[in-house]
Amino acid sequence: MVRRLLATTALVALLALPAYAEPLSPEPASAGTSEEAAALRASLAEYVTQVPFEKGILSVEPDPAGQRVTLNGAPFLKDYFGLEAKVAPLSFLVSPRADGDWNVFTNDPIRVTFDTKVGEQVHAFEYSQGEQAFKGVFAPNLFAYRAVEGFVRDTVNIQNEGATDSSTTIAGTKLSMSAGPGDAGGVDLDFQQTLTNYGQTVGVKAPPPVEGETPEARSQRELAASLFMSFGLKAGEVESTASVKGARNVEGRDLYTLLLAHTEALEADHRKALAGPLGEDLRAALQKTMPFWTSLDVAVTAREASFQSMLGTLRFGEASQATRMTGLAEDARLETDISFDGFSVDGAVVPTWAARFVPKAAQLGVVVSGVDLKAPADLAIRHIDFTADEPFPEEAKAEIVEALDPARIKITLKPSVIRSTDLDLHLSGEMGFVDEKPTGTLTARAVGLDQTIASLKRAAEREPDLQQVVGMAQMAQGLGRKTADGDWEWVVDVAADGSVSVNGALVKAPDSETLPETEAGPAEDAGQQ
């Protein structure tokens, strides 16, 4: 049992992503022994096999503060990817705690450099950290870190490839994580990461001269050279958060160890291996991982961000995206919100007259609900034949598809708004399916449309080509209706028969129905007589 806990701790430590805080130091611990190091190595082999140890990728040695597990990435990249790389070894200090959890610590900066040839072109890769530290408390019963804090300073990633060169720098990265038992089973996890002074530049290379190229090919290459461009991304801060409820960490680990324990049998004859008890054990293990999690919330926010190109610069005071989803539930739900504020465009990409109509801020939200993902997943696990070339019989496929039941699905556009200097556009609506045909309603309300059309008319006096834009705006206004507040509103209804109406007025007739040939034939014959 102790060996398994040690192995679990070391394995997760190796997979952890170190990310900034004040200087971190390992927790005090008793000196490790050779016997404990041997036991840990044997336990780790149960998760990764003996191969990494034999190839010098992994090693375990006693340390004055516990056991030190070292990952040497160079032989790994050579054996599995054929890359001759320079990789700084990464070691993790592991020590047991009185409560049964484990301390994990590392402060070895990650550094990787290699060149590889693709055809006649040499691709170069370089990744380095000026400083990093990761400190966590791993809980074997959760198969997760109960607490984590970490930082990285001065991250640099440079890639030179055939068509592009890119460089990414991050001044600082701060990471924190926590986990605990879920109220309804599984594990609840919370994660936060903040990047400061993020910058990326990408240069697109012009095609090189080709020996013996035709005049037409040379002209095309010269044209491509004239279009040579680069672009860049910058952000003062990028914050990412994630919250997972009821994650099936332990069940996922058990599924992995089940397969690993039967690797030899599966490699020798996977059909024979899966035809026996292993097939049913695998089916049961897959079922236990469902629904993966109860809920998952992920949010990313960028502040003081910009995108630079040869056409100009786009700037955001703040831009964010938040996504919430259930696991494989009977009433699964996916919700996404996107917003930005302080948006502006510098450069000639936007004509002067159009600047007043460029959105300065927006909030948009979409919800997909009512999807039954549990029934199809259960059916898939129940019917899958691990030994067949075609794992699902046709009858099973039909049953799985039928279980999705599109009639239950509803897509909702949450009350949303797009704001510019002259115009605010408010949107909301929902869509469903009747006999697998879309049906729904979209409501749009424009605040400031009269002023917008007036601005367009003034601009059209100087630029006659804008008359068409004015005409389209007036046509849209003609389809709308004025509200008590003086705004303009459009309620668009789409019926299952394909008809479309705006504010009750039919603008598209129902889709025509094509008569079957057996009925159309006599009518045609009659008309020809």
Largest pairwise CA distance in the chain:
104
pLDDT tens profile 180-221: 999 989 999 999 999 999 999 998 877 777 777 888 887 877
In the chain, domain spans: 1-163, 182-211+219-248+290-418, 422-528
* Three-class SS of 279-305: HHHHHHHHHHHCCCCCEEEEEEEEEEE
Pairwise CA distance, residues 483 & 266, whole Å: 69
Strands 295-309 and 332-341: unpaired
Residue 228 confidence (pLDDT) = 63
Burial environment of residue 290 by CB neighbours within 10 A (0 to 12, 13 to 18, 19 or more): middle
Give how far Cα 155 sits from Cα of 67, 152, 169, 196, Å: 28, 7, 6, 11
pLDDT at 93: 97
Residue type, 409: I
Phi, then psi, of 61 in degrees rounded to 5: -135, 145
The encoded tokens of residue 100 equal 């049964």
pLDDT digits (tens, 9 = 90+) for 299-336: 999 999 999 987 789 999 999 999 999 999 999 999 99
Q: Give pLDDT, residue 227.
A: 61
* Identity of the amino acid at 248: R
Q: Which residue has the tokens 């009821």?
A: 246
Residues β-bridged to residue 170: 155, 198
189: which residues sit within 8 A by CB, 6+ positions away? 144, 177, 178, 179, 242, 243, 244, 247
Tell me which residue of 29, 28, 254, 44 sits closest to 141, measured CA to CA. Answer: 254
- Radius of gyration of the chain from Cα atoms? 30
**Residue 437: DSSP 8-state:** E
Pairing mode of beta strands 344-346, 332-341: unpaired
Kind plus residue range of the DSSP H or E element containing 118: strand 111-118
Q: How far is CA 229 from CA 9, 168, 210, 376, 432, in A?
A: 47, 17, 21, 47, 44
Q: What is the pLDDT at residue 226?
A: 62
| The pair of three-digit structure tokens given for residue 421, joined into one six-digit string | 């200097």
Residues 6+ apart with CB under 8 A from 98: none
Q: Going along 448-508, which residue ranges are E strands?
A: 481-482, 488-494, 500-502, 505-508
CA separation for the pair 249, 293 (Å, rounded): 9
Helix (H) or strand (E) holding 187: strand 187-204
CA 147 to mean position of chain CA atoms: 24
Residue pLDDT tens, the chain, 529 long: 434 444 444 444 444 444 334 579 999 999 999 999 999 899 888 888 899 999 999 999 999 999 999 999 999 888 888 888 999 999 999 999 999 999 999 999 999 999 987 777 788 999 999 999 999 999 999 999 999 999 999 999 999 987 789 999 999 999 999 999 999 899 999 999 999 999 999 988 777 777 778 888 878 777 766 666 788 999 999 999 999 999 999 999 999 999 999 988 999 999 999 998 999 999 999 999 999 999 999 999 999 999 998 778 999 999 999 999 999 999 999 999 999 999 999 877 788 888 888 999 999 999 999 999 999 999 999 999 999 989 999 999 999 999 988 899 999 999 999 999 989 999 999 999 998 899 999 999 999 999 999 989 998 888 888 899 899 999 999 999 999 999 999 999 999 999 999 999 999 999 875 434 444 444 444 344 3
Determine contact, residues 150/24, Cβ cutoff 8 Å. Answer: yes
Amino acid at 489: E
